Chains A and B, each alone.
Chain A
Amino acid sequence: MTTIGRRFPVVTRSGVHVLIGFAVVAVLMPVFFGGSPLFTWTTAAVWVLFAMSTSVLFGWTGLLSFGQAAFFGIGAYTMALIHENRPETPGLVMLLAAALVAAVVAAVFALFALRTSGAEFAILTLVLAQVLWLLTYRVSWLKGEDGFHGLFSVNIISNPLTSDLDLWYYTIAVVGFCVWLLWLLHRSTAGMAMRAVRDDPWRSAALGINVRRVQVCAFAVSAALSAVAGALLAQGQGVVSPGMLSFAISGEILVACLIGGMSRFGGPILGAIVLIWSQTLISNLLHDSSMFVGLLLLVIVIALPQGLVSLPGRVRNRRRASGPPSIPPAPTGSLADESVPDGSPVSAGDEEALR
């Protein structure tokens, strides 16, 4: 990605490569997969969006949220409620409405919850999700355990989706578009402000960044896209139930982010795919996959805290460190290479920071 970026700065600035990447995947996937594997890929695509939106908060802005399921669920329930009252509404409008509702809820919540930080903040987000989960049982028009059914028949513009293949194209198109928006945000000054707030809120405040506003905005963006993911999943599975608000969902999406690693833009994408596929494969073999997810996460947190995306860099460094000391190739405009005159390895994190 970076090499392309160096040669064609226009590509990375406009994020064309993200769009092309998603288009290629969208076309190629049905060639190799069909039936239930394709459906798993559709689910994985939804989780890619969910993981990316969680990473806006957790990876970019440094706010740990244990209640992402709240926004995922808000999206799904918004879609279900609109579908029940006005079934002829186009699905894309429903997605927009879901995003809007979640963003407003998130912004209001964040204004309160951001009076704390760190672990306390994480617990408050967890509380938000649990309150919403409890509400689905207490409020009669949210239908408790029964939930909502028949969301297959949601119109996209004027007709509903008729096949798994259509669902795949629709899902990947929405996901690709949203990830592209996130790429633009990542490259913008707003994205830079988020990372500055993550690294040192005090210094950012001194530099004139409105820390609170950046955090609230990150929360709203993250919630809006999580809601889109929730609505997409609801549409794909046809059902909305309180399970979509449960802690299991909030936990799994954090696992996806951590497995992938959030030091790079694409980390959560990788993490979501690895998580969904390993869960699918393990639960084919065994009854329950939760222990393996926990143990996998434990290994990653202890041994590979930067996630799977840092693996190539680590391997490279180890090889460089164990091999004969050699002077690295002439720098090609990268600061990272100039900063190591003695050929000592640079950790993946440092390289990322210097770029």
Chain B
Amino acid sequence: MNDLVPIVVAGIAQGVPIFVVASGLTLIYGVLHVLNFAHGGFFLIGALIVTTTLQGPSLAAFGLSVLLAGVGVMLIGVVSEVAVFRPLYKAGSTVSFLGAFALFLALVGIALLIWGTNPRTVAYPEALNGSFDVGGARVGQYDLALVAVGGVIAAGLYLLLTRTSLGTRVRAVSHDRTMALALGIRVQRVSTSIFAIGAFLAGVAGALIAPVSSIDESLALSSDYMLPAFIVIIVGGLGSVPGALIAALALGVLESALFRVAPSLSGFSYYLVVALFLMFRPQGIFGSPSRSTQMAR
């Protein structure tokens, strides 16, 4: 028990930023059918904005810069959707994916130009710097805060998707784009909105990990956050937000447990899990078997 609590909390805390990034990715995939590779760039820029805007150690200042990072990245996301993805939509998903890749390179390059190559760090907000004593085990306050934030974001997304008219339209478009168009849904506007939300989440996730990680351009494709996010949406099933949530938290806990039990294996758990899923359930937890996965069998 004493060992279990910190493992689970640390695992969930690690899974939360991954889930926040992955939920945006999976939403964008559901609506636009593009795996938005540029998300790594959004994530990196979110973290970098915090290094610039954060003034002082107070919790309010930190919260404000997290929001600023989210909004700033959201603007970049909207501009890139209109400028890059809209013209490419007709050309098919491979070309869009390459467009996303080009955007990724350009965003990372621009970030390097603005913030330089030196790694940056951000201090923990003062109020969250300590640790709690839970049943004799020490649990970091920041980790607990991450768990709470993750809960809020998951609940917010759930309400957004099920209780608002935008959410209904998003689900309609990702279910059947042509039918949604025929019913008079402005699909382009839904695409832009979902891209804005996804980018906002990526910016927030980047901002949230700023105190935990050293921030340089390798963050855009780091094996701690971005690659697991891509793996999580494959394991959870492309387009499924609940799948992304379950996969992110489960994999976070697994990774954190492995780190304690068998440190030499840590870092590999994501890759092992995705390999197992591909062997036995290529469509992921909640995905439906697509034409291509059916063919593969």
A residues lining the B interface (CB < 8 Å)? 62, 64, 66, 112-120, 122-124, 126-127, 130-131, 134, 138, 201-202, 205, 211, 247, 251, 254-255, 258, 288, 290-295, 297-298, 300-302, 305
Q: Looking at B87, B99, B104, B109, which has the most chain A CB atoms within 10 Å of its CB?
A: B109
Q: Select from chain B the residue with minimum beta-carbon distance to A133.
A: B223
Q: Are B296 and A117 in contact (CB under 8 A)?
A: yes
Contact B268 A131 (CB under 8 A): yes
- Which chain A residue lies CB-closest to B221? A247
CB distance from B45 to the nearest CB of A (A): 13
The answer, yes or no, to whether B134 is at the interface (CB within 8 Å) is no
Interface centre among A131, A202, A292 (most CB of B within 10 A): A131
Q: A115-B278, A201-B295 are in contact. Are A288 and B109 (CB under 8 A)?
A: yes
Which residue of the partner chain B has the closest CB to A134?
Answer: B267
User: Which chain A positions have C-beta within 8 A of B278?
Assistant: 112-113, 115-116, 124
Contacts A119-B97, A290-B112 given; does A298 touch B106 at CB 8 Å: yes
With contacts A118-B94, A127-B274, A302-B88 taken as known, whether A251 is within 8 angstroms of B101 at the C-beta atoms is yes
A-B pairs with the 3 shortest C-beta distances?
A291-B109, A294-B105, A294-B106
Does B110 touch A at the CB level, under 8 Å? Answer: yes
Instruction: State whether B279 touches A112 (Cβ < 8 A).
Output: yes
In the complex, which residues 112-131 of chain B have their Cβ closer than 8 Å to any Cβ of chain A?
112-113, 117
How many B residues face the partner with a CB closer than 8 A? 47
Confirm or deny: B82 has a beta carbon within 8 angstroms of a beta carbon on chain A.
no
Nearest CB in chain A: distance from B255 CB, A: 13
- Nearest chain B CB to A237 CB, angstrom units: 22
Identify 5 new A-B residue pairs, CB closer than 8 A, beyond the known A127-B230, A301-B95.
A116-B282, A127-B274, A130-B227, A202-B295, A300-B102
Q: Given A113-B278, A118-B292, A126-B230, are A290 and B105 also a contact pair (CB < 8 Å)?
A: yes
Asked if B112 contacts A297 (CB within 8 A), the reply is: no
Output the least CB separation between A57 and chain B (Å). Answer: 13
User: B117 near A116 (CB under 8 angstroms)?
Assistant: no
Chain B nearest Cβ from A260, distance in angstroms: 14
A113 contact set on B, CB distance < 8 A: 278
Q: Are B105 and A293 in contact (CB under 8 A)?
A: yes
State in angstroms the CA–CA spacing of A279 and B17 once bound together.
Answer: 35
List, in ascending order, chain A residues with CB within 8 A of B35's CB: 119-120, 122-123
List residues of chain A with CB within 8 A of the CB of B221: 247
B271 within 8 A of A: yes
Q: Which residue of B lies closest to A292 (CB)?
A: B109
Is B52 interfacial (CB-CB < 8 Å)? no
| Minimum C-beta distance from A160 to chain B (A) | 36
Structural contact, A294 and B279, CB atoms closer than 8 A: no
A126 touches B227 (CB 8 A): yes
> Is there an interface contact between B93 and A119, defined as CB atoms closer than 8 Å?
yes
Distance in angstroms from A83 CB to nearest chain B CB is 27
Within 8 A of A (CB), among B283-297: 292-293, 295-297
Point out the residue from A131, A205, A297 that lies within 8 Å of B105, measured CB to CB.
Answer: A297
Q: List 22 A-B contacts (CB under 8 A).
A: A62-B94, A114-B296, A115-B282, A119-B34, A119-B93, A122-B97, A130-B227, A130-B271, A134-B223, A202-B295, A211-B295, A258-B98, A291-B106, A294-B105, A297-B98, A297-B106, A298-B99, A298-B106, A301-B102, A302-B88, A302-B99, A305-B95
Within the assembled complex, what's the spacing in Å between the Cα atoms of A29 and B150? 60
Instruction: Tell me how far the C-beta of A54 lies from the nearest C-beta in chain B, rounded to whole angstroms.
Output: 13
B264 within 8 A of A: yes
Are A290 and B91 closer than 8 Å at their CB atoms? Answer: no
Residues of B within 8 A of A258 (CB): 98
- Choose among A115, A123, A251, A295 the residue with the greatest number of B CB atoms under 10 Å from its CB: A115
CA distance A201 to B294 in the complex (A): 13
Question: Do the beta carbons of B104 and A294 come within 8 Å of each other?
Answer: yes
Q: Kindly state the separation between the CA atoms of A344 and B234 in the bound complex, as whole angstroms.
A: 46
Complex Cα spacing A258 to B98, Å? 9
Q: Are B108 and A294 in contact (CB under 8 A)?
A: yes
Contact residues of B between 239 and 267, Cβ < 8 Å to A: 264, 267
Interface residue? B197 (CB, 8 A): no
Q: Which residue of B lies closest to A254 (CB)?
A: B101
Q: Which of B34, B91, B238, B296 contacts A115 (CB 8 A)?
A: B296
Q: Which residue of A117, A119, A293 has the most chain B CB atoms within 10 A of its CB atom?
A: A119
Using known A-B contacts A288-B109, A294-B104, A294-B105, determine if residue A305 contacts B91 with beta carbons closer than 8 Å. Answer: yes
With the chains together, A288 CA to B238 CA distance in Å?
35
**In the complex, are the beta carbons of A118 and B93 less than 8 A apart?**
yes
Task: Confirm or deny: B201 has a beta carbon within 8 angstroms of a beta carbon on chain A.
Answer: no
Asked whether B147 is an interface residue with its Cβ less than 8 Å from the other chain, the reply is no
Chain A residues whose CB sits within 8 angstroms of the CB of B104 once the complex forms = 294
Assembly CA distance A294 to B217 (angstroms):
14
A299 and chain B: residue at smallest CB distance = B102
Given A119-B93, A126-B230, A138-B264; A301-B98 close (CB under 8 Å): yes
